Chain A
């Protein structure tokens, strides 16, 4: 597999995300943590193309932690679901490219923003695909902070009860919720064991290493008759050392100058001195 071309796409998506973090800003940290997973899924795993976006045969990706949608906007621009020029319409009233996903954007299967919803929607789609004897894969991206929501655990019970082995949850395990490290606020560990106890077949991988993602996803379902969960260990803010794993760099609205510097930082040429306002509480 050509990991280099995937890395190039990831880099381009990260550039798009950084450019969206000004003039109103975006949830940059969570967007950067899931980029590599999304790039891998759309390039190597999901049967989703510009041509089959409305076909019942396509695979489905549901972005349940919707605030990381800049990663999808950037990726969809790179894989031509979306005209690149439209990214400059971010937060503008002349388009529908805002802080959370919506179905007016080609490729977005369902709106989200309220956490803990799209596992249940994914379960509905997975049930129908099973009922129709179709081979679609259904992937639901959950945030680790999102796992606080009770509806996620309700959904796990039901996906397991219906043996939805066409369903895969990927947890973007970036270790942070809005303001705080997950393990300091509402500890999730031992997470693998929790998911296993709920009847899922669970794998973990480095969510920034394409060879590890590749290895984890080479066989799907992980085990026939069981729904799958991949815990992707990631870094919030991945690619920008000046915001990586910083609790107060959750939602960012940078100045034009900072954006220019962060773009250099992404290419390893610079560490940005950030002066823009920190979001210290949700």
Chain B
């Protein structure tokens, strides 16, 4: 089922569920006609949509609020933090065209700090499904949660078969036993990570691959396990290096007084080249081949380092 089909299905089952948007209807094009009494469009007014979502939640409703991720998480940030976060209301906010999915829109539309912003809000949970199938697996669970959620929306086609069981705070392990390298990732880059893993495996490098699903709560147990068993950990994300998965991993390792050899692949203090997704991936060296190349380079460096260390 598509995201919209699941929402329509849930609207039928839960009379408190409402669909809100700040004139961002791409994912919910049929709902205004099919469920007009459960649909509210606030126009291009993200702040008022979020405040109103809080008001509706005060009355016992469960609003699912849609907007472009950059305007949702930044224009309306203080409304999310103050009106959803402080009272811990069960509003689900859905940011579309996040990360690389803004493609050729340019930096105004690049939500590559959204995870950093949302995870910094007490009570807020963050989920970044890798593709439409992954989202469809996670969505019903999230809609039943009493907590606020930021959903980093995607409608990309899946390239792998996902684990049909989703638990918040539990990562999806796609490849186990990455003694040489384990890739931690989320969102649209999972597809590229799969390609990179195939290349590396063909060169007899053992690769682990983990699709994190929720970034908050984070699957600390799984991450610490692979940090102990893998020579190299890669954090692969379409987000600024600051505040996203790389930061989460660093925070986790320090709190556990652990060390790991980490290769972060993210946007380091810069916005990405606006273009169609397949071209951006190559330009920004985030396509499967480039990822594999970076990992091999890093592995060779770390072997030199480890050899020096051991002698």
Q: Tell me the A residues contacting B by CB distance below 8 Å.
A: 56, 103, 109-111, 114, 116-129, 131-132, 151, 154-155, 157-158, 161-162
Bound state CA distance, A109 and B47, in angstroms? 19
Interchain CB contact under 8 A, B82 and A117: yes
The reply on B50 being an interface residue by CB < 8 A is yes
Interchain CB contact under 8 A, A125 and B59: yes
Which residues of chain B come closer than 8 Å to A157, judged between CB atoms?
Answer: 43, 45
Q: Which of A117, A132, A158 contacts B43 (CB 8 A)?
A: A158
Interchain CB contact under 8 A, A151 and B48: yes
Which residues of chain A come closer than 8 Å to B43, judged between CB atoms?
Answer: 157-158, 161
Bound state CA distance, A161 and B179, in angstroms? 60
Bound state CA distance, A131 and B63, in angstroms? 14
Which residue of the partner chain A has the closest CB to B45? Answer: A154
With both chains docked as a complex, state the minimum distance between the C-beta of B90 and any C-beta of chain A, in angstroms: 13
Interchain CB contact under 8 A, B48 and A125: no
Interchain CB contact under 8 A, A121 and B40: no
Which residues of chain B come closer than 8 Å to A111, judged between CB atoms?
Answer: 82, 86-87
Interchain CB contact under 8 A, A121 and B47: no
Q: Which of A114, A127, A151 contacts B55 (CB 8 A)?
A: A127
Which residue of the partner chain B has the closest CB to A150? Answer: B47
Which residue of the partner chain B has the closest CB to A155? Answer: B48
Which residues of chain A come closer than 8 Å to B45, judged between CB atoms?
Answer: 154, 157-158
Interchain CB contact under 8 A, A127 and B40: yes
A-B contact pairs, 21 of them (CB 8 A): A110-B58, A118-B51, A120-B52, A120-B83, A121-B52, A121-B54, A121-B55, A122-B55, A123-B51, A123-B52, A124-B56, A127-B55, A128-B55, A129-B59, A131-B37, A151-B47, A151-B51, A155-B48, A157-B43, A158-B42, A158-B43
The reply on B98 being an interface residue by CB < 8 A is no
Give 9 nearest A-B pairs by CB, closest first: A124-B55, A120-B51, A124-B52, A128-B59, A121-B55, A125-B55, A124-B56, A120-B48, A154-B45
The reply on B97 being an interface residue by CB < 8 A is no
Which residue of the partner chain A has the closest CB to B82? Answer: A114
Bound state CA distance, A162 and B57, in angstroms? 18
Interchain CB contact under 8 A, B37 and A155: no
Which residues of chain A come closer than 8 Å to B60, judged between CB atoms?
Answer: 56
Which residues of chain A come closer than 8 Å to B59, judged between CB atoms?
Answer: 56, 124-125, 128-129, 132
Which residue of the partner chain B has the closest CB to A116? Answer: B47
Q: A110-B87, A151-B48, A154-B45 are in contact. Are A120 and B82 (CB under 8 A)?
A: no
Q: What 1/0 flags go to B145-169 for Cβ under 8 Å of A?
A: 0000000000000000000000000
Bound state CA distance, A162 and B37, in angstroms? 13
Interchain CB contact under 8 A, A158 and B48: yes
The reply on B294 being an interface residue by CB < 8 A is no
With both chains docked as a complex, state the minimum distance between the C-beta of A96 and any C-beta of chain B, in angstroms: 13
Which residues of chain A come closer than 8 Å to B272, judged between CB atoms?
Answer: none
Q: Which of B42, B51, B63 contacts A121 (CB 8 A)?
A: B51
Which residues of chain A come closer than 8 Å to B54, judged between CB atoms?
Answer: 110, 120-121, 124
The reply on B78 being an interface residue by CB < 8 A is yes
The reply on B61 being an interface residue by CB < 8 A is yes
The reply on B3 being an interface residue by CB < 8 A is no
Bound state CA distance, A157 and B82, in angstroms? 22
Which residues of chain B come closer than 8 Å to A127, judged between CB atoms?
Answer: 40, 52, 55-56
Bound state CA distance, A129 and B60, in angstroms? 11
Interchain CB contact under 8 A, A103 and B51: no
The reply on B79 being an interface residue by CB < 8 A is yes
